[in-house]
Each structure stands twice: as structure tokens, then as C-alpha cells.
A and B are shown apart, each in its own frame.
Chain A
Amino acid sequence: MKDELREALEGKISALTQSEVRVENLQMLAGGASQEMWRLDLHVASRETQGDYKLVLRRQLGGKIYREALDLEREFRVMQIAYASNVLLPYPQAFLPDLLNRPAALLHRKEGETIGRRIVREPSLENARRVLPAQMGEMLARIHQIDFEKYAMRMFLPHPPPRTERSPQRSESALANDAAQGNETAQGNETAQGNETAFVPYIPSPAQWAILQLENNLDEIGEPHPALELGLRWLHRNEPPAPKNLCLLHGDYRLGNMMVNEKGLVSVLDWEFAHLGDPYEDITWSLVRDWRFGNDHLRFSGIARPDDFFAAYERATSTTIDLTRVHYWEVMGNLRWAVGMLNQAQRHLRGEEPNLEFASLGRRCAEVELEVLNLIKSKK
């Protein structure tokens, strides 16, 4: 397998670089049912990309973790855009649509700690833990400020169905007003030739979109979870006004997806859940209790109070964090993670990826259920 992979890689890269190439020290880092990770060193002998590269190879194998997860090709495009926007992440070197019949991506290899539990506990990372909250806040602001329309990201990322022009919230007179001002609404623009598009339900906000996904996901799982249902009702009834603008979201922005060294943040990893939505979804994901690794009182990922993280985000975006929205999306985040745990357990139960840890997550869901009840009890 390894030799075959090495030869295939050399063939592909040689064609891309128009040069002789050598792949060395190919070594598997992690394997699973859905993805493989390899490390390798690459030597390109000549022409403009000549040089030595330390790389990571990711190959997409089978199923996806969640329905909303991006395939490798789209994830790679998001990484390219984020990289070009000064977000810290491994340089996306090449996408190979067909490497031994599987899509694969080559990324630069950086060194650092990526295991959340160790980032929280490791004595040598004490300084990193001091600076990380502010660094992560500032970095999240960079991601949220990416002009996703400029990169036409609606075309390839999951997003809440856009506000249609015939929004129920807009009165006929407002529409007439638009028309009078020559403000062309998209009724005219959307009738181009092509296929009929999906009959999407009208969903007025990213929060309602997220709730609907969770409800559908719970129905798919098929196990009754009344505590989660009660949490979802709370979300229905306590929704803050929809945000003015959507943002590009990382979608899994927490300590466990950061690469960290003694100086702090090295890279933001795992972009497969990128989508467009409400910025508070990303802002609060790091607050979910389960990521605190037992340091319960340190609400930001078990390493700090959220103050520094919020302050850095506020500075970088010139906005003010709204604590009501934080609370709302923290409830949402916990529900998302509860459903995520059930999904993982299902992957095991359905035989898609038999795995002891996935199985045990089924029994850990109750931890998050208790947190949900506590959160919605503390504020009605």
C-alpha cells in the first residue's frame, strides 16, 4: 500500500511540477474509515517549484462524519481562501482529485501540539495558555472578516437559505419603494436559464436553520431525547434578532482544532465544517463545557475565563460582544455537541466505523444534556 501510494504521489506531483520528484519518509499518522493522514518529505528536482517540502497528505476515504461536512475539495478551497486572508493555517500546497481513486490534499507540515487535553495540562505550554485566548479571538475575527461574497463562497458552502426578496418580514410597500428607487430585486435576476433549484423552505435566520438541522438530525438518529427537545424549544422561544450579516464560520473553532507551541497559536486546523452563519456560533463553541477537560470554572476551553478572547475579538472587529447572544449560542453549541455525540455513537452502532470511543460517546451525551438543562434553567 505504502509503496503504491508513494509511486502514485510521485507520478502526480511530477506531472504538476514538470520536474523529477522524490517522495521520502512516507509514514501514516492516523487512519480511520473516513480519512487517512500521512507525513512525507518531498524533493522537487528542478524548475520553479524546486526545493524540499515537509508535507502532510490527507486522503478522503469513505463516509463523512456529519452530513454538513465538506468534502476534501471544498475544504481545500476554504483553506486557500483563509490562507490568502492571513489566517494561520498550513499552506494548502496541492489538491489531487484522484490519488489511487481517492481525493487527496497536500498541506505544509507544521510542528506543534494538537491534542486538546495536552494543551490544557502540559506544563511546557503554560505561556501558550496565557496568550491563546487573545490569539484565538483575534484569529477568529480574521476569519469572520473574510469577504465571502468576493470569493463566491455561497456557491460551495452550506449556508442558511438567503433572505428571499419576498421576505414575509418586508411589507408590500417596502417592496414597492425598492422598485420605485430602481432598486432591482432579484426576482428579475434569478430567472436565468438552467435547472430548477431545490424547493428550499423559507428560513429567516441562521439560528432557525441550525435548529432545523438539529431536529432533522435527531429524527434520523431515531432515539428519543426529550431533554434535547426541551433545549430546542428554548432556542425557538428565545431567539435574539437575526444578525445583520452572515459570516464565514470555521464551524469547529475550539482548542482541540488548534495547533499550539510554547508561543501560542501555530495553526487553525480542520476546516471541514466551514459554512456561512451567525458569528456567535463560532464565538461560543469554545465555551461548551465538554471542551474544558475538567477545568470547569475556566469557561474558555478550560484555560481561561472568556474575557481575553472576547476582548481580542471585539478589538479586531470593532464590535461589542452581546452576552445575551453568547448565552443563546452556548445553549445551541451544547445541543450541537450532544447531537454530535449521538451521531458518533450511531456511526459505531451502524457499523460504519466500529470504534470504542464512538460507542462510549453514546453514554456521555447525558453529561451535555445536564448542562443544557442547567443553562436554560439559569435564564428563562
Chain B
Amino acid sequence: MQDAPTSQELISTVAQFLTTELAPTLNDPRLKFRALVAANVLHIVARELEMGEAQMQSECARLNGLLNENVSSENVREDVENMTRVLSQKIRAGDADEGAFHVEVFAHLEQTIIEKLQVANPKYLERLLKETANLRESTRI
């Protein structure tokens, strides 16, 4: 076991350094922008370290259910990728155009994208979910 700080804490510290210490000293606006992009990328990695494993497990379970599979190898990431590939082919072939399978696929994809955005851009996710909630609210009236 490694001593503190944890890898997440280290990453956050570097991101903090880029944003608050380095970026303000950069005069070239393009370089400054890139420093902020770099910090943002580090925040993504930190969130993935925190949530990635659990997300991958639940995505794997959903895909197994959706495709009537019972895949569980050592490598969850590989399983998810393979099943996602199969799902993509089914969708392109028109298998998920309508009916119950369409509804299930749609729900799975929505959940998967939400999980991707929880890591990649939680602020955007929050904004968009709020907007669609408002939209539903207004169409109900």
C-alpha cells in the first residue's frame, strides 16, 4: 500500500496547480486555454478512478441482460467492449428499430451515456437533464 496522498488526490493537486498557479501566468491565450484543458482532463481521470469500476460492472450486467448473454471473463472492459460491438451491429441491422427491444436498448444507452458524462462532464449532464425535465414538465401542461 502506498502512502498518502492517494492517486486521486495527487491528480487533483496537479489540476489545481495548472488552474490556479500556472494558467494565470501564461500570456499566450492559446497556451492558457490548453493548460485549462489539461486540468479538465485530469479531473476526468480523477472521477474515472473513483467511479469507473462500478460503472463498468453495471454496464456489463445491463449488456448481459440485453443480449441474453452470460459473459463474465477476467476482463470486464473487454467483455463490455465486445458486447457493445454486438449491440451496435444489431442496431445497424435494424433489430432495435421498434418494439420492446428498442425501448430496452434506448434505456440502456441513455444510462450508459449518463455514466460516461458523470465522468467526462458532470456539469453538462446536469444542465441537459434539467432542460429535458423542464421540457417534459411544460409538455405535460
Contact = CB atoms under 8 A, between A and B. Distances in A.
Contacts of B110: 370, 373
Contacts of A131: none
Contact of A366 (B38, B91, B116, B132): B116
Contact of A377 (B91, B106, B112): B106
B78 interface: no
Nearest to A237: B97
B109 A373 contact: yes
Contacts of A360: 37, 40-41, 44
A310 to B, nearest CB: 21
Interface residues of B, number: 35
Contacts of B106: 230, 373, 377
A357 interface: yes
A364 B123 CA distance: 12
Interface stretch (A10-18, A219-227, A315-323): A219-227
B120 interface: yes
B40 A226 contact: no
Given A224-B88, A366-B120, A378 B135 contact: yes
B41 A233 contact: no
B120 to A, nearest CB: 4
B77 interface: no
A259 B113 CA distance: 35
A224 B85 contact: yes
Given A225-B88, A230-B96, A366 B113 contact: yes
Contacts of B84: 224, 226
B127 interface: yes
Interface in B76-94: 81, 84-85, 87-88, 91-92, 94
Q: Which of B40, B109, B132, B135 has the most CB of A within 10 A?
A: B109
A282 to B, nearest CB: 25
Contacts of B124: 367
A190 to B, nearest CB: 34
B94 A233 contact: yes
A226 B97 contact: no
Contacts of B88: 224-226, 229
Contacts of B109: 226-227, 230, 369, 373
A215 interface: yes
A371 interface: yes
A115 to B, nearest CB: 9
A367 B113 CA distance: 8
A357 B35 CA distance: 10
A227 B113 CA distance: 8
A325 B141 CA distance: 26
Contact of A230 (B37, B91, B119): B91
A296 interface: yes
Contacts of B54: none
Given A215-B92, A363-B119, A377-B106, 6 more contacts: A226-B105, A226-B109, A227-B113, A367-B128, A370-B110, A373-B113
28 contacts: A215-B92, A224-B88, A226-B87, A226-B109, A227-B109, A227-B112, A229-B88, A230-B96, A237-B97, A296-B128, A356-B34, A356-B37, A356-B41, A360-B40, A360-B44, A363-B120, A363-B121, A364-B121, A367-B120, A367-B121, A369-B109, A369-B113, A369-B116, A370-B113, A370-B117, A371-B128, A373-B106, A377-B106
Interface of B: 34, 37-38, 40-41, 44, 81, 84-85, 87-88, 91-92, 94, 96-97, 105-106, 109-110, 112-114, 116-117, 119-121, 124-125, 127-128, 131-132, 135
Interface of A: 215, 224-227, 229-230, 232-233, 237, 294, 296, 356-357, 359-360, 363-364, 366-367, 369-371, 373-374, 377-378
